[in-house]
Amino acid sequence: MSRRQLTATTGEAVAAYGLVSPWVIGFVGLTVGPMIASLVLSLTDYGLVNPEDASWVGLGNYAEALTDDPLVWQSLKVTAYYVVLSVVFELVVGLALAVLLNVGVRGVGVLRTIYYLPAVVSGVAVSLLWLLIFQPSSGLANAVLGLLGFDGVGWVYSTTWVVPAFVLMSVWGVGRAAFIYLAILQRIPTNLYEVASVDGVGSFGRFLRITLPLATPAIFLNLVLAVIGKFQIFTEAFVISEGGPGTSSLFFVLYLYRVAFRYFEVGYASALAWLLFAVLLALTAVAFRTSRHWVYYEADRQ
Amino acid sequence: MRARTWEPVVGPRATGPWARRASIALLVAGAVAVLVPFAWMVSTSLKPEAEVFRQPIQWVPRTTRPENYAEATTLIPFWRYFLNSLIVAIPVVIGTVMSAAAAAYAFARMRARGLRVLFALVLATLLLPGEVTLLPSFLLFRELGWVGSYLPLIVPSLLGGGAFNIFLLRQFFRTIPLAHDEAARLEGHGFASIILRVVVPQAWPAIALVATFTFVETWNDFLGPLLYISDQDRYTLPLGLNFFKDIYNTQWAHLMAASLLALLPCLLVFFAAQRAFTEGVVLTGRKG
C-alpha cells in the first residue's frame, strides 16, 4: 500500500467517524447511559418527589410487580388481548389488502393514497374523532351496527368493548402494513404464476402455494415490528378511555406513565420498563426461534 | 433502482375479468370504509352543536356552520399551539434528516474500523422500547434545567436521527453507484461536498420519505410534550386538543373543526411528498 493510499484511507476513516459521531453521542448519552441509569433506578425506591430519600431495594420492585401488584397483571392481560387481536387483524386484513392492491387495476394509485391516509394522521386529533364515533348514544359506530341489524354497544364506555374498540381503530390504519406486504408481492416473479396457471392451479391455490410462502419474510418482519409497536399503545388510551372503564383498558405503558408521573415512583416505573423490555425481547426471540420453520428465504435453497 | 411512478401496476396476477371485478369492488368498499370516519369528521365539524347527536344520523348538516372553524380557533389559542408545533417540528425534521443522512452515508459507503459493529448497534436499538430510556432521560433533562422548554423534544433528533431513519437511508444510499463518488473525489470534492452533490440529489425520494415521516411523527407526538411541557402557552397542538377536550367536552362540532385543522399540515406534507413516499415505502416498508 502506497503512502498516498494510506493517507486517503485514514482520511476516510476520520471522515466516517465524524459523520457517525452525532449518532454515537446520542447512543451513549440517550440510550446506553439512560439504560444503565434505568437499571440502577429499578433497584431503588427513587421518587420524583424527595429523590434524596431514595434507598436500595434490590430486586424488591420486580418482586412487587410480579407478585404483589394486580395492576401489573391486569395491564399485561389487557395489553396482550389488544396486541393479539390487532396483530392478527393487521396480518390477515393487511395481506388481503396487499394482494388486492397488487392485482393491478386502473386508478389503484388513488386507492393506495386513501389506504395510507390513516397512517399519516395518528395521535390526539384522530383519537378525538374515534371518541366521537364511539359515543354510545347516536355515535357513528352504533349507527352502522344498527344499519346492519345489530344492537348498539357501549364501546369505550364498556369493559367488554373498550379493547375491541381500540382494535377497530388499529384496523383502520392497516394500510401501512399492507404496503410492507405489497413490497414483497411485487418482487415475486410473474413467471411463477404463469407456470402454475399452465399446470392448472387455481387462483386460490396459487395464493396458497406461491404468494403466501414468498410473503413469509415480510410477514415475519411485520409481525415482530407490529407486536413491539402495538404493545406500546399509549396516546389513544390516554385520550379516549384514560384506562377505563375501571382498569379495562389500562394498557401497560399507560400504567407505567401513571406510576412514574402521577404516583412519582420512578424506581418502580423503571422496573416496569425493564419488565416490558424483557417481555418484548422474549416475544422477539420466540419469533426468531420459530421463524426457520415457517419463514421462506430464497437464499436457503441455494 | 428504476424509479417507480405513481402509475397503476399492471398486474398479471389478476386472472379472469370476474376476479378483477371482485377485487375492484372489494378495494373500493374498503377505501370507502377508510374514508367514512374522515367524512364524519368533516360533517360534524360543520354542524350546530345541537345537531351533532341527532338521530337518525345526519351526513349533511341541516344548517351548515362554517363559523365553527373560526370559533374553534378562539376557544383555545389554536394558532399559538399551531405555531408551537411548528417551532418543534421544523428543527426536528432538519436535525433528523441531517444527522441520519450523515451516519447513513458512513455506514453505506465508507470503510473504517468498527463501523460494522456500530451499525449492528444501530439495528439493535430498533428493538429497544423507548420506555426503557424514558425516565432517566426525563431526569437528565430535568437536571439540565430543560424541562418546560422544547429542548428535550428537539435536541435528541440532532443526535443520530433515529435508528430506523439511518437504516432506511443507508439501504437507499447503497443503491447509488460508488463510481459517482469516485468521480466527484477525483474532481477534488471532499466528503461533505460529495454527500451534497452526489448522494442527496440521487437519494431525494428516501430523504423526502424520512422528512415526511419525521414531520408526521413529531407533529402528532403526544407523550413527549406531555412530559416536558406544562406551561399552557407552550402547548403543542396535541396537548392543546387534549386540553380542549377536557374543558369543552360537549362541543364536538368545534372539537372536530379544531382537530381537522390540526391534521391538515400532515395531509399537505403527505400529498406534497407523495411520489417519493410511495416509492420509498414500496422499497423498504416502514413501521412507525
Residue B19 has pLDDT above 70, yes or no: yes
Residue B1 lies in a domain: no
Band of residue B249 on the pLDDT scale cut at 50, 70, 90: confident
CATH superfamily of A68-301: MetI-like (1.10.3720.10)
Residue B188 lies in a domain: yes
d(Cα A142, Cα B131) in Å, to the nearest integer? Answer: 35
d(Cα A51, Cα A35) in Å, to the nearest integer? Answer: 19
Q: Is A218 helix (H, G, I), strand (E, B) or coil?
A: helix
Tell me the average pLDDT of chain B.
Answer: 86
- Same-domain status, B57 and B112: no
Predicted confidence at residue B279, as pLDDT, reads 54
Q: What is the pLDDT of residues A88-139, one digit of tens each?
A: 999 899 988 988 888 766 677 788 889 989 988 889 999 999 999 999 887 8
Q: Do A117 and B121 touch (CB under 8 A)?
A: no
Q: What are phi and psi of B160, to 5 degrees?
A: 110, -30
Q: Is B142 helix (H, G, I), strand (E, B) or coil?
A: helix
Residue B111 lies in a domain: yes
Band of residue A7 on the pLDDT scale cut at 50, 70, 90: low
Q: Which of B223, B256, B282 sits opposite A234 (nearest CB)?
A: B223
Residue position matching grid coordinates 414531520: B215
List the Cα angle B168/B153/B115 in 5-degree steps.
35
Q: What is the pLDDT of residues A245-276, one digit of tens each?
A: 999 999 999 999 999 999 999 999 999 999 99
- Same-domain status, B95 and B208: yes
d(Cα B218, Cα A232) in Å, to the nearest integer? Answer: 17
The residue of chain B nearest to residue A252, with distances taken between CA atoms, is: B131
Q: What are phi and psi of B10, to 5 degrees?
A: -85, 105
Predicted confidence at residue B218, as pLDDT, reads 96
Tell me the average pLDDT of chain A.
Answer: 87
Of A140-144, B8-12, B206-210, which gets the smallest average pLDDT? Answer: B8-12
- Same-domain status, B40 and B103: no
- Same-domain status, B117 and B59: no
Sketch the domain layout of chain A as residue ranges: 3-41, 68-301
Band of residue B10 on the pLDDT scale cut at 50, 70, 90: very low
**A143 in contact with chain B, both atoms CB, cutoff 8 A:** yes
Q: Do A12 and B222 touch (CB under 8 A)?
A: no
CB A232 within 8 A of CB A240: no
Q: Do A124 and B242 touch (CB under 8 A)?
A: yes
Measured over the CA atoms of residue B102, residue B104, residue B107 and residue B108, the dihedral's sign is: negative
What is residue A300's DSSP assignment? G
Q: Which of A23, A75, A195 to mutate to test the interface with B (most CBs of B within 10 A)?
A: A23
Predicted confidence at residue B169, as pLDDT, reads 92
User: Residue A223 CA to chain centroid, in angstroms?
Assistant: 8
C-alpha cell at A90: 393487521
- Same-domain status, B192 and B226: yes
**B1 in contact with chain A, both atoms CB, cutoff 8 A:** no
Contacts of A77 by beta carbon, 8 Å cutoff, 6+ apart? none
Q: Residue A209: how many CB atoms within 10 A of its CB?
A: 13
What is residue B46's DSSP assignment? T
Domain of B230? 77-284
Contacts of A182 in chain B (CB under 8 A): 282
Q: Do B111 and A16 touch (CB under 8 A)?
A: yes
Q: Which of A23, A131, A186 sits opposite B9 (nearest CB)?
A: A186
Predicted ipTM of the assembly: 0.87
- Same-domain status, B260 and B231: yes
- Same-domain status, B209 and B261: yes
Closest Cα to residue B137, out of B159, B164, B104?
B159
Residue ranges of B 106-145 with Cβ closer than 8 A to chain A: 106-107, 110-113, 115, 118, 121-122, 125, 127-137, 139-140
Contacts of A31 in chain B (CB under 8 A): 125, 128, 133
Pure H helices in A186-265: 190-198, 203-206, 212-231, 235-240, 252-261
What is residue A137's DSSP assignment? T
C-alpha cell at B44: 360534524
Residue B270 lies in a domain: yes
Q: What is the pLDDT of residues A170-202, one digit of tens each?
A: 999 998 888 888 877 777 777 777 788 787 777
- Same-domain status, B188 and B267: yes
Predicted confidence at residue B67, as pLDDT, reads 93
Predicted confidence at residue B200, as pLDDT, reads 85
- Our count of domains for chain B comes to 2
Q: What is the pLDDT of residues A49-99, one digit of tens each?
A: 888 888 899 899 999 999 999 999 999 999 999 999 999 999 899 988 988
Residue B11 lies in a domain: no
d(Cα A108, Cα A99) in Å, to the nearest integer? Answer: 12
Residue B6 lies in a domain: no
Q: What is the pLDDT of residues A9-60, one digit of tens each?
A: 788 888 899 999 999 999 999 999 999 999 999 999 999 888 888 889 989 9
Residue B153 lies in a domain: yes
d(Cα B14, Cα B135) in Å, to the nearest integer? Answer: 52
Contacts of A255 in chain B (CB under 8 A): none
- Same-domain status, B216 and B107: yes
Closest Cα to residue A184, out of A35, A107, A296?
A296
d(Cα B288, Cα B278) in Å, to the nearest integer? Answer: 15
Measured over the CA atoms of residue A176, residue A177, residue A178 and residue A182, the dihedral's sign is: positive
- Same-domain status, B66 and B82: no
